[in-house]
Chains A and B, each alone.
Chain A
Amino acid sequence: MAPIPPAPQAGDDSHQQLLDQLDLTLMPRPFRNPHWKPSQRRNKNIKQIIGEASRKEASVLVTQNNSGSSTPHPQSSANATGSVTPLPGSAQVQTNITQAAQNLSTMVLERNLQASLSSGPIATYTNIESAPSLHPAHQKHYCDITGLPAPYTDPKSRLRYHNAEVFQVVRSLPQSAAEKYLEARGAHVVLK
């Protein structure tokens, strides 16, 4: 471990020189694309990312439900009744292309959905999290203050404690400290 550099003194710029040596902005970085302009809003936290992903997924499902595969195509029904005369060749081809494209995207989506359903659940960041323990032996109680086994709980602060001596400590704790002890165990009250 390197020793802490001495505090910078007035008139002594050795520390500033060291800092300059360490400064990334002064290092040559020719490998960077000079025209690279990152998006201003690229920093997102996990909650945002997951939220956006699930919204996107939901909207895809909605469009699939409303897609042509589930409702009869107006063109074909019109043709069947014969109330509308088919248009001459060129227009016919054009509608067929848009129709085909629409059907294709639907087909791809449906295919993907099927694939995902058939091959079992896909590992996603959220669903690989392990579930809460169901093992009864894992619900042991330990003293919040000392970590020793805790047969008692203080009904006032809800802290678990080991013996009478620790109880005195518990009772002498200010409210904020008791709350922090609970927080370390994840049992604190969260106001939303």
Chain B
Amino acid sequence: MTIRSAQYINHSSSADNSDIRLSPKPPPRVWNSIEPPFKGYQSPPLGGYVQSSKKTAVVIDNGASLLRAGWSFDKSPRVAFPATVARYRDRKINRTVSYVGYNAYADATTRGQIRNAFEPGTSIVGNWDVMEGLLDYTFASLGITAEDGGVGRPIVMTEPVANLGYSRKTMTELLFECYSAPSISFGIDSLFSYRFNKGRHGLVVSSSHTATHLIPVLDSKPVLSSATRLNWGGFHGADYLLKLLKLKYPTFPGKLTEYQTEDMVRSHCYISQDYDREIASFLDWSGLEDRDHVIQYPFTEQVIIEKSEEELARIAERKREGGRRLQEQAAKMRLEKLVRKEQTLEYYKSLQEQLANQTKKEIKRLLDEDEFKDEAQLERTIQDLEKSIRKARNKDVGGPENIEEVEPSYPLLDIADENLDEAGLKEKRHQRLMKSGYEARVRAKVEKELEKARIAEQERQDNERRETDIDSWLEERRAARLTLLQRIKERDRLKADLGNRKSLASQIRMKTLANLASDQPGKKRRRGGDDDNFGANDDDWGVYRTVATGEHSDDEEEEDLGAGLKGVEAQLLKYDPSFNENNTLEAQSDWTQSLVHAFLRGPRPFDPESQQEAHQIHLNVERIRVPEVVFQPSIAGLDQAGIVEIAAGVINHGLAKQHDQISVLGDIFLTGGNTLFTGFDERLKRELRAALPIEAPIKLRKAKDPILDAWRGAAQWAAGAESNQRFVTREDYQEKGSEYMKEHNLGNATAA
């Protein structure tokens, strides 16, 4: 168990730049998450029962975290185990089994059945079946064999301050009826601890597992009427940390349990001496490595098969080879085609030559043979072939492409239709088509040029404006940037909203889907008649964008926005003196600048792919936030005064006489496991000093062993003479009933 000392952290200067932040850091100190506290089979401690006599008492510190038990002559408890029992019917062996204390953590089945004797967060027994199991196990472990059909030894047991009548009554009945105890006595654990540490006048501050109690003691007698309880202890701290961690890592893959957070509170938390100052700078960059504690949960690294260099090279080579083969094949095919085309061209050319000096009839015959209508068509075919051959050659050889398109002549267009024969008319029609096509191309070219000129002009104007009126230009750019940011944000929110079925965005989407899918068109469409003119308007198609939510639904827009923002930011960077690298969105979303990153992932980069890092918990702010609740209960929503205010109240208002107050202040005594935090006593002393009159002499001390001294005190008291007349005997019980008790200086007072 390492409790790190409290450190004062100075306000870090804002000057640390991201170079320092990015510089490699030593690997983090990592703590492993703890396993369930199973201890294996433990043979019961021997010899105690044989040594004991009818006068030796069994001493039980009935604590909510651990039940500790032993004999009154022991120096420390013989057995200690958590107040838990796993009792269930095992179907495999077909009988009821029950495992007590650490044994209940033996395996997953038993862990799943664990029940606690105490009502959660209190020191009041809520489950008496479990309590019975605990007592059974205690007596069995102490090796008690029945002499007269019962435990045969007096029992001293601790109970909470101002225990409820019902609880005491039920416990008394249980001990007398079930275990046939000869006599029993109850006392308050913190008072036993105070007695063991030889206190006479003082203020007992006991912060234990389930509650924090303050009891003034005058002349070894507790002033119970001014005892005060704060409903906060180690249990609540662990529970609070569990809540915080579950909120901090909502998708944590490991299982967070209470015994783990309990251990985290014990090992990593400390009381801050100046909470407000320390918490404000806790996530500052300087020194965060030391403040941030990393808890590693078990994980299995995903196996990525690493291919060797050679293998990679071979794969690449194979790929290249395949590509080459394909290319070769394609080239071959192209060549064949080319050859075929050339042959055809040759043939047609020879045909043309043949036609040159033939009669009309012969020409007609020859043309018909090759399915040409007339000479013009042959001519065109030859031209087309020549063109495509030239193109193919260029492609293979890489010669210059024939760029300039020569405007063809359209001689026929000027001749009136009447003067043309059938073939001429056809030709004219063809030429007209050609002409309009050519003109359209020329127009497009001109338009393109114009557009280019327009953009250049715009840029020129923009530059001019910038030079003449930089302020308004910058203003405009900034506004544009903000609009873009807003749109990006909106888009992100929409995306996030679509994940939530109840959000407005998804509801609208569902409505759209239902409308699209419904056979009966909605009101709007009905009004417009049967004609569904969907798609007539370009915006209609936007409906698919709102409906699709998949991965790539709005890639286009994303690119657009991102690129646009980059452009605007680049301009701002260039011309706006007040806009620097740190202001860009990219820099702002940089993890080194992020407070939330420091909170969640500490001072090092986070790789979401790494299983190791995904299974890590970073404790930073929590290290002082959790134990601080004792001083400021409002942090955890506890509507009670803090420990200092209570102490001041107990001293100022709970004790009437001035000299009592002074004598109590002379010995403020800390006991209980929740006071073990580093810095607890210093902080309490400092704050008490501030809350009490200046002349008040404050002395503060800790129990020698804040955890075990309660049991030791009880054992010491039980063994001494003082306790002789303080036991309720079996006869008393039978005569005066189960609510009868005897008051003594270490126990509760009789309720009315």
Chain A residues with a Cβ under 8 A of chain B: 1-5, 7-8, 15-16, 18-19, 21-25, 27-33, 36, 38, 42-46, 49-50, 52-53, 112-113, 115-116, 119-125, 127-135, 138-140, 142, 145-149, 162-163, 165-166, 169, 172, 174, 177, 180-181, 183-187
Contacts and interface: CB of A to CB of B under 8 A. Distances in A.
B211 to A, nearest CB: 9
Contacts of A165: 594-596
A118 to B, nearest CB: 12
B540 interface: no
A30 B144 CA distance: 8
B103 interface: yes
A138 B170 CA distance: 40
A121 B225 CA distance: 6
B632 A177 contact: no
Contacts of A186: 636-639
Contacts of B282: 147-148
B163 interface: yes
Interface in B643-668: 645-646, 649
Contact of B162 (A2, A128, A139): A128
A146 B637 contact: no
Nearest to A187: B637
A124 B127 contact: no
Contacts of B213: 128
Contacts of A174: 500
Given A146-B596, A184-B240, A33 B634 contact: no
Contact of A135 (B243, B246, B645): B645
The residue among B139, B152, B596 with the most chain A CB atoms within 10 A of its own CB is B596
Interface residues of B, number: 101
Interface in B107-160: 107, 110, 119, 122, 124, 126-129, 132-133, 136-137, 139-140, 144-146, 149-152, 160
Contacts of A181: 247
Nearest to B277: A149
A27 B140 contact: yes
Interface in B334-370: none
B166 interface: yes
A24 B225 contact: no
Given A24-B103, A38-B132, 16 more contacts: A2-B39, A24-B136, A25-B95, A25-B96, A28-B140, A42-B128, A46-B126, A49-B166, A49-B167, A113-B752, A123-B162, A131-B641, A133-B634, A135-B642, A138-B641, A184-B247
Q: Closest 9 interchain pairs by CB? A: A186-B637, A30-B146, A133-B641, A22-B103, A147-B621, A36-B178, A123-B224, A116-B752, A2-B40
30 contacts: A5-B106, A21-B41, A24-B85, A25-B95, A25-B96, A25-B97, A30-B146, A33-B150, A33-B178, A33-B179, A42-B128, A45-B119, A46-B124, A46-B126, A125-B124, A125-B160, A127-B162, A128-B227, A128-B229, A131-B641, A132-B640, A133-B633, A138-B634, A138-B642, A149-B276, A162-B595, A174-B500, A180-B247, A184-B247, A184-B636
B22 interface: no
The residue among A21, A119, A125, A131 with the most chain B CB atoms within 10 A of its own CB is A125
B249 to A, nearest CB: 12
The residue among A123, A138, A145 with the most chain B CB atoms within 10 A of its own CB is A123
A32 B37 contact: no
Contact of B145 (A18, A30, A131, A147): A30
A147 B622 contact: yes
B107 A46 contact: no
Interface in B175-233: 177-180, 213, 224-225, 227-231
Secondary structure call for the A interface = loop
A122 B750 CA distance: 9
A172 B646 CA distance: 40
A1 B641 contact: no
Contacts of A18: 40-41, 106
A132 to B, nearest CB: 5
A138 B276 CA distance: 11
A143 B637 CA distance: 13
Contact of A24 (B39, B140, B161, B594): B140
B279 to A, nearest CB: 6
Contacts of A184: 240, 243-244, 247, 636-637
